[in-house]
Chains A and B, each alone.
Chain A
């Protein structure tokens, strides 16, 4: 607020510098009526020295508006009237004080316009407006009023000044106050909309929309990891459980998933009932180093390690979700045999904005790895049948093979017959998985 006033004061002072010079030329004819021997130089040079230079000094001082902004904003109540006084002191006020009071009438309207423009353009909060009005009254009009009042003969001019200035305050202050309230309301409304939208849009999309980040909204492709998560036995769960308890359980499950995901750097792109598409490393900023020669080897090493670390984050996330999921089942007294299963795949993933700008657009994710992750997630059902039905599985796509040495308990399925093939991927000869055995139900109930 105060920084804004100081910033605008800087602009006003810069304008004043230019206007001081121009006024020296255009006011010559006016002053010639009282001072016929006044030369152009005598009118311009003093204005440059005593108006323009101080204005330039203050312009630079206010320019650094973030520093001492409160002091600077309140100082406009003295500085701006002071600049007007310094302009008036060149020929004009000496003429008035020498007895030629009627000459003031040439400048009265200009003064009112300048003062109202300056206060309007400062556009400060009410306290600043009031202080500026008071400043102009005492610093600029005060001496004039005193002069005309004590003169007695020109009390009409005094009444004119007093009346017009009172009119100025009566119109200016309410008007500026209303404008200030409107600006404040708009700013708060804008912030409120942004705050309300952010949880729905996510931090990245909210930032992109509100900061005008077209580089994000235009879409991009990034190498990352995508995870497909699903609840095994969901259909049976929805049929067996009551509508209300199923709804509450799913609300809690979604909330827990989002909270757990945020700890491991994942991003939830979409949810469809019991299924979720999550990415790791796709929404992260990444610098393009393709134009730096000699880094190719190191960038390749960095890329490999990044994928390894993203896989680790994904596994840790799933491992954290498992006990949370079981705890929710106990909390909401879920009778159905439901478990979560997931899969991970990596590759080039596209972040795009889909849809029609005039109807609806969606910030979406696309790419072959998503299809692969979905097919591999469906493979968890097969694993339940052929390995152990009382376990949760995380299926890992084959491209992670070279990283799996550093992970424990990773097992492999050799796909040597059609019935255990991954759907739509007949060329996939092996998949990896990690298994988490659940305690038997009898033991769980005894524990509960």
Chain B
């Protein structure tokens, strides 16, 4: 079965069934061997081409009789040539192989076509990303940022702010809207390696005006609505949907599959379990622990769960005592009915 045919089955079968079909794809042997060597070849190309180009500049313009200023200018020119050459070489490789950066789950095997393509793309991108002085200049100079990001398949808005230490990888999977702010040391996890030997890739979507705080991390398949804010050190899991205007306060923990509506507040340190659903406008209190699968349809539902804002005073203890009495009475009724 070809990848094109498998993709037509999306939505009709479960993700795991789709992944099982994709896992069966294999490269022919020669290409599989080439795939094993590809990172070395890519690195060699990305470094050798700009070095060669800058050598040409030095050779052409650096004369023994030139003045010190002229020599300095030639050296600057060579350095700029190296920088541009580096970006363009890595970028062209990234552009060519960006077609393989697709959503899905596939095995981390060098003979798997999608993984083989990802290795080449990833090698090219990481050479740029980890070349920090150059990457910092790229992010600081808008035309360079536009050029580099475009080459690596970025489809979002170029006004989105990324810091040099913001981890981003599969740029084609990032959909950042206008005016998005992503602080430093944020991890935009468009891909994740799983303990079954596979890698899973998905989109990350950030609506216009969304903000992501320092050291936050979010996983693939996450969607953050317009003007929402993800607080510092927050962890957002796989396939989470956050509505518009929602504020996730610092150190909150939003597990996989959670759906948070519009204009919600998730308190500091709150934990939302797997597949929790929070309706529009609800405030989850500080330190609340919402168990997996809970359906929070109203503020009343949210206040049922223990949070650090819950103060147990004498009146609360009285309420608890009444509840226990009621429960015991109900137990007694049920036992009599069964009898």
Residue-wise, chain B 189-224 has the 8 Å CB interface mask toward A (1 for contact) of 000001110001000000010000000000001000
In the complex, the answer to whether A64 meets B159 with C-beta atoms within 8 Å is yes
Q: How far is the CB of B266 from chain A (nearest CB, A)?
A: 17
* A189: interface (CB < 8 Å): no
Option from A263, A294, A299 in Cβ contact (under 8 Å) with B195: A294
In the complex, the answer to whether B273 meets A302 with C-beta atoms within 8 Å is yes
In the complex, the answer to whether B291 meets A292 with C-beta atoms within 8 Å is no
Option from A220, A289, A301, A408 in Cβ contact (under 8 Å) with B291: A301
Q: Which of B13-21, B77-85, B92-100, B245-253 lies at the interface with chain A?
A: B13-21
Return the chain B residue nearest A63 by Cβ.
B158
Residue-wise, chain B 251-284 has the 8 Å CB interface mask toward A (1 for contact) of 0000111010000000000000111110100000
- Tell me the count of chain B residues lying within 8 A, CB to CB, of chain A: 48
Inside 8 A of A408's CB, which chain B residues have their CB?
326-327, 330
- Complex formed: what's the CA distance from A290 to B157 in Å? 32
In the complex, the answer to whether B297 meets A293 with C-beta atoms within 8 Å is no
* B109: interface (CB < 8 Å): no
* A188: interface (CB < 8 Å): no
In the complex, the answer to whether A64 meets B11 with C-beta atoms within 8 Å is no
- Complex formed: what's the CA distance from A298 to B294 in Å? 12
In the complex, the answer to whether B15 meets A290 with C-beta atoms within 8 Å is yes
Tell me whether A289 and B256 are in contact in the complex, defined as CB-CB below 8 angstroms, given that A309-B295, A313-B295, A412-B337 are known contacts: yes
Inside 8 A of B298's CB, which chain A residues have their CB?
263
Return the chain B residue nearest A414 by Cβ.
B338
Inside 8 A of A409's CB, which chain B residues have their CB?
330
In the complex, the answer to whether A64 meets B14 with C-beta atoms within 8 Å is no
* A303: interface (CB < 8 Å): yes
In the complex, the answer to whether A292 meets B256 with C-beta atoms within 8 Å is yes
Tell me whether A291 and B256 are in contact in the complex, defined as CB-CB below 8 angstroms, given that A215-B11, A298-B292 are known contacts: no
Inside 8 A of A138's CB, which chain B residues have their CB?
none
Inside 8 A of A309's CB, which chain B residues have their CB?
293-295, 301
Inside 8 A of A220's CB, which chain B residues have their CB?
11
In the complex, the answer to whether B178 meets A306 with C-beta atoms within 8 Å is no
Residue-wise, chain A 278-304 has the 8 Å CB interface mask toward B (1 for contact) of 000100111111111111001101111
In the complex, the answer to whether B279 meets A305 with C-beta atoms within 8 Å is no
Inside 8 A of A306's CB, which chain B residues have their CB?
275, 293-295
* A66: interface (CB < 8 Å): yes
* B285: interface (CB < 8 Å): no
Option from A264, A284, A290 in Cβ contact (under 8 Å) with B16: A290
* A97: interface (CB < 8 Å): no
Give residues of chain B (298-339) contacting chain A, Cβ–Cβ below 8 Å: 298, 301, 326-327, 330, 333-334, 337-338
In the complex, the answer to whether A298 meets B274 with C-beta atoms within 8 Å is yes
Option from A285, A289, A305 in Cβ contact (under 8 Å) with B259: A285
Tell me whether A301 and B295 are in contact in the complex, defined as CB-CB below 8 angstroms, given that A218-B11, A292-B256, A409-B330 are known contacts: no
- Complex formed: what's the CA distance from A296 to B19 in Å? 17
* A60: interface (CB < 8 Å): yes
Option from B14, B159, B338 in Cβ contact (under 8 Å) with A288: B14
Return the chain A residue nearest B257 by Cβ.
A287
Tell me whether A287 and B274 are in contact in the complex, defined as CB-CB below 8 angstroms, given that A306-B295, A313-B297, A409-B330 are known contacts: no
Most buried by B among A291, A411, A412: A291
* A310: interface (CB < 8 Å): yes
Option from A264, A287, A412 in Cβ contact (under 8 Å) with B297: A264
Tell me whether A265 and B293 are in contact in the complex, defined as CB-CB below 8 angstroms, given that A67-B178, A292-B200, A411-B337 are known contacts: no
* B2: interface (CB < 8 Å): no
* B48: interface (CB < 8 Å): no
Option from A285, A288, A412 in Cβ contact (under 8 Å) with B15: A288
In the complex, the answer to whether A265 meets B292 with C-beta atoms within 8 Å is no
Give residues of chain B (11-64) contacting chain A, Cβ–Cβ below 8 Å: 11-12, 14-19
- Complex formed: what's the CA distance from A308 to B292 in Å? 12
Tell me whether A412 and B195 are in contact in the complex, defined as CB-CB below 8 angstroms, given that A287-B257, A309-B295 are known contacts: no
Majority-rule SS of B interface residues: loop
Q: How far is the CB of A356 from chain B (nearest CB, A)?
A: 21
Inside 8 A of B297's CB, which chain A residues have their CB?
264-265, 313
In the complex, the answer to whether B292 meets A64 with C-beta atoms within 8 Å is no
Inside 8 A of A281's CB, which chain B residues have their CB?
295
* B88: interface (CB < 8 Å): no
Q: How far is the CB of B236 from chain A (nearest CB, A)?
A: 13
Q: How far is the CB of A8 from chain B (nearest CB, A)?
A: 19
Inside 8 A of A264's CB, which chain B residues have their CB?
297
Return the chain A residue nearest B158 by Cβ.
A64
Give residues of chain A (252-288) contacting chain B, Cβ–Cβ below 8 Å: 263-265, 281, 284-288
In the complex, the answer to whether A289 meets B239 with C-beta atoms within 8 Å is yes
In the complex, the answer to whether A305 meets B15 with C-beta atoms within 8 Å is no
Residue-wise, chain B 233-247 has the 8 Å CB interface mask toward A (1 for contact) of 000001101000000
In the complex, the answer to whether A291 meets B19 with C-beta atoms within 8 Å is yes
Inside 8 A of A290's CB, which chain B residues have their CB?
14-17
- Complex formed: what's the CA distance from A314 to B337 in Å? 24
In the complex, the answer to whether A293 meets B195 with C-beta atoms within 8 Å is yes
* B146: interface (CB < 8 Å): yes
Tell me whether A289 and B293 are in contact in the complex, defined as CB-CB below 8 angstroms, given that A218-B12, A306-B275 are known contacts: no
- Complex formed: what's the CA distance from A160 to B90 in Å? 56
- Complex formed: what's the CA distance from A269 to B173 in Å? 37
Inside 8 A of B276's CB, which chain A residues have their CB?
302
Inside 8 A of B18's CB, which chain A residues have their CB?
291
Q: How far is the CB of B259 from chain A (nearest CB, A)?
A: 7
- Complex formed: what's the CA distance from A287 to B203 in Å? 14
Inside 8 A of B275's CB, which chain A residues have their CB?
286-287, 289, 299, 302-303, 306
Tell me whether A64 and B157 are in contact in the complex, defined as CB-CB below 8 angstroms, given that A218-B11, A287-B257, A303-B293 are known contacts: yes
* B105: interface (CB < 8 Å): yes
- Complex formed: what's the CA distance from A264 to B159 in Å? 40
- Complex formed: what's the CA distance from A231 to B268 in Å? 47
Most buried by A among B196, B255, B257: B257
Inside 8 A of A301's CB, which chain B residues have their CB?
273-274, 291-293
- Complex formed: what's the CA distance from A140 to B208 in Å? 38
Option from A291, A293, A302 in Cβ contact (under 8 Å) with B274: A302
Residues in chain A within 8 A of chain B (CB atoms): 60, 64, 66-67, 214-215, 218, 220, 263-265, 281, 284-295, 298-299, 301-306, 308-310, 313, 408-412, 414
The 4 A-B residue pairs with the shortest CB-CB distance, nearest first, are A302-B293, A305-B293, A302-B292, A309-B295
- 10 new A-B contacts at CB < 8 Å, known A289-B274, A299-B275, A302-B293: A60-B146, A285-B241, A288-B239, A298-B273, A302-B275, A302-B292, A305-B293, A306-B294, A306-B295, A412-B337
Q: What are 26 A-B contacts defined by CB distance under 8 Å? A: A64-B158, A64-B178, A66-B178, A67-B178, A214-B11, A265-B295, A265-B297, A281-B295, A284-B277, A287-B239, A287-B275, A288-B15, A289-B15, A289-B239, A289-B256, A289-B274, A290-B15, A290-B17, A291-B105, A292-B194, A298-B273, A301-B291, A301-B293, A302-B276, A302-B293, A306-B293
